């Protein structure tokens, strides 16, 4: 299959980062992470690469492992991507080399396929008509089926492109399938393929001329459409549209594919909408200034705090929030309870990426790269500490220890989401069930485990009510275990699925066993989460 004209810019001899963030309160202890942020712009006469850069900057919270931009000028597609934050990957020289009238961009947190340069996006595919570049937010649950489709299509002919270069993401499979039929345009191929995909996807993709965007029928991950004076923009969150001065028009509808080119915008409905938006976007993932289905995320979080105060009242002197996502809920708790709100933690405003691993001695000394307690505010006070979620409990345990060492008289923890008991297969990288503290412990046991004087979680009804969305149009599987999109019965699911199955499609030899014939399985991530106790 011929690959269209492509120039891939890399960073030469400069050492790449490893995509690992080491700035947390407890090094290596990460909270729930979203899959990615996507951005696309069609705007002749504008500096589309720079618009995309600033759009990705606004979406940096959705993924910090890698970043990439592809531009098209009507004749070729240029791609520049690398491991690291947006500000680390791109500079003026790189952006000035990315010329054209349309662009897509991506900032990644891995949920299918490991955190490697090969899996960075946008991904590329070649067609008879030219080149295709694609960026994806979300996670597919029928990845095994899609790989079978690739096998069936190519047969004994080894595939080229991203899969041949070692990409092990579900995104690479979609890119390959969109490029597989030389007689179909990307638009025709998408209308045929998209109904076959199961799971969460918000796609932006492009050829040399046209920008496309598509959202899964369940609308799990957000995707919004904006208007520039001389073009159109799509982005994972409305805040990214506003950052570059675009007017917010509407959300891309669940089950909708749009195409934007010199003839304007056209829309196709490839599936009936079955809305199941992710409730965790309101709790934690989205920026506070984002608007999802008409609800400002900040307002939803403040309301969650008010509900928490009604459901779990306590006598205390001060309400503090854990920066950043816990602060709006703490404000709401204070408003409803009448207990004053104050700043109890100082967050390092310049914390970014460090590749320096703390020694065990430094860990034992309590290295605090992210948060530090504000001692003069909390000494002698009975505190209500509001946070968005508890995953493993290690972070809360460290926070409470810090507060007590700083002189807090009492620490009452309030959480603006119910206990997280199930993994997400739709684009959030939670721990496995075995690692989730709420899987095996009740609320009182969790309280004792983290060392709080009391612990209260918001009810599922209270959380959903704060979003102003109908309960039957939200996905809350991570709290309930009720998955709205059926998972594969054969259990072929998980972050490293394509790295643990035979990869003859990609490499021409079986990499599922080592040299001694021992199976090479990767037991991390959500691969076997449902089988854990």
Q: Residues annotated as binding site for Mg(2+)?
A: 325, 387-388
Contact yes or no for 403/450 (Cβ under 8 A): no
Establish whether 9 is a catalytic residue. Answer: no
b/e map 134-170, b = 16+ CB within 10 Å? bbbbbbbbbbbbbbebbeeebeeeebbbbbeebbbbb
- The count of other CB atoms within 10 Å of the CB of residue 242 is 18
Token pair 């937010």: residue: 137
Binding residues for [4Fe-4S] cluster: 278, 424, 475, 478
Q: Which of 36, 89, 286, 527 is catalytic?
A: 36
- Specify burial of residue 13 (Cβ count, 10 A radius: 0-12, 13-18, 19+): exposed
From residue 156, give the alpha-carbon distance in Å to each of 144, 150, 162.
18, 11, 18
From the list 123, 137, 138, the residue with the least C-alpha distance to 81 is: 123
Token representation of residue 283: 């709790």
Q: What is the residue-wise DSSP string for 315-374?
A: --SEEEE-TTTHHHHHHHHHHHH-PPB---EEE-TT------PPPHHHHHTT--SSEEE-
Binding residues: 278, 325, 387-388, 424, 475, 478
Alpha-carbon span 206 to 204, nearest angstrom: 7
Alpha-carbon span 86 to 66, nearest angstrom: 8
Cβ neighbours of residue 284 closer than 8 Å, sequence gap 6 or more: 31, 32, 325, 388, 389, 417
From residue 158, give the alpha-carbon distance in Å to each of 161, 171, 468.
10, 18, 50
Alpha-carbon span 195 to 217, nearest angstrom: 9
State the catalytic residues.
36
């Amino acid at each position: 299959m011929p690959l269209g004209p492509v120039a891939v810019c890399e960073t030469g001899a400069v050492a790449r980062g490893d995509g690992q963030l080491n700035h947390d309160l407890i090094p290596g202890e990460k909270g729930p992470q979203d899959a990615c942020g996507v951005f696309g712009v069609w705007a002749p006469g504008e500096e589309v690469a720079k618009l995309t850069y600033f759009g990705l900057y606004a979406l940096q919270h959705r993924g910090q492992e890698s970043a990439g931009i592809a531009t098209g000028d009507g004749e070729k597609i240029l791609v520049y991507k690398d491991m690291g934050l947006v500000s680390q990957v791109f500079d003026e020289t790189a952006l000035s080399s990315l010329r054209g009238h349309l662009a897509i961009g991506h900032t990644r947190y891995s949920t299918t396929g490991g955190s490697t340069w090969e899996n960075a996006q946008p991904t590329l595919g070649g067609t008879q008509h030219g080149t295709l570049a694609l960026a994806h937010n979300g996670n597919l649950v029928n990845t095994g089926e899609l790989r079978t489709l690739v096998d069936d299509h190519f047969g004994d002919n080894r595939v080229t492109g991203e899969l041949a270069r070692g990409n092990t993401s579900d995104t690479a499979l979609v890119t390959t399938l969109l490029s597989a039929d030389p007689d179909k345009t990307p638009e025709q191929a998408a209308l045929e393929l998209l109904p076959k995909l199961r799971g969460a996807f918000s796609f932006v993709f492009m050829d040399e001329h046209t920008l496309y965007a598509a959202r899964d029928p369940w609308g799990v991950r957000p995707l919004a459409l904006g208007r520039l004076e001389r073009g159109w923009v799509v982005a994972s969150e409305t805040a990214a549209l506003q950052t570059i001065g675009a007017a917010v028009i509407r959300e891309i509808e669940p089950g909708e594919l749009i195409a934007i080119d010199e003839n304007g915008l056209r829309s196709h409905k490839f599936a009936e909408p079955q809305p199941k938006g992710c409730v965790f976007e309101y709790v934690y993932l989205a920026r506070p200034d984002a608007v999802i289905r008409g609800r400002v995320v900040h307002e939803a979080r403040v309301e969650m705090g008010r509900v928490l105060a009604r459901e779990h009242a306590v006598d205390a002197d001060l309400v503090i929030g854990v920066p950043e996502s816990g602060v709006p809920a703490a404000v709401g708790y204070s408003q409803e309870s009448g207990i004053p709100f104050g700043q109890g933690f100082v967050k390092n405003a310049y914390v970014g990426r460090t590749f320096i691993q703390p020694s065990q001695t430094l860990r034992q000394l309590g290295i605090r790269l992210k948060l530090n307690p504000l001692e003069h505010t909390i000494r002698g006070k009975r505190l209500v500490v509001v946070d968005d979620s508890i995953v493993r409990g290690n972070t809360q345990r460290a926070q409470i220890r810090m507060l007590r060492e700083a002189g807090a008289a009492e620490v009452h923890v309030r959480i603006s989401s119910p206990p997280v008991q199930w993994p997400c297969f739709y684009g959030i990288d939670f721990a496995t069930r075995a690692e989730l503290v709420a899987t095996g412990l009740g609320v009182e046991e969790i309280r004792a485990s983290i060392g709080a004087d009391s612990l209260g979680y918001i009810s599922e009804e209270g959380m959903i009510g704060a979003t102003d969305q109908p309960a039957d149009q939200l996905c809350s599987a991570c709290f309930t275990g009720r998955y709205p999109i059926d998972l594969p019965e054969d259990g072929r699911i998980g972050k490293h699925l394509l790295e643990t199955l035979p990869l003859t499609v990609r490499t021409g030899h079986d990499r599922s066993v080592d040299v001694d014939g021992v199976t090479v399985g990767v037991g991390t991530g959500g691969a076997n989460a449902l089988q854990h106790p």
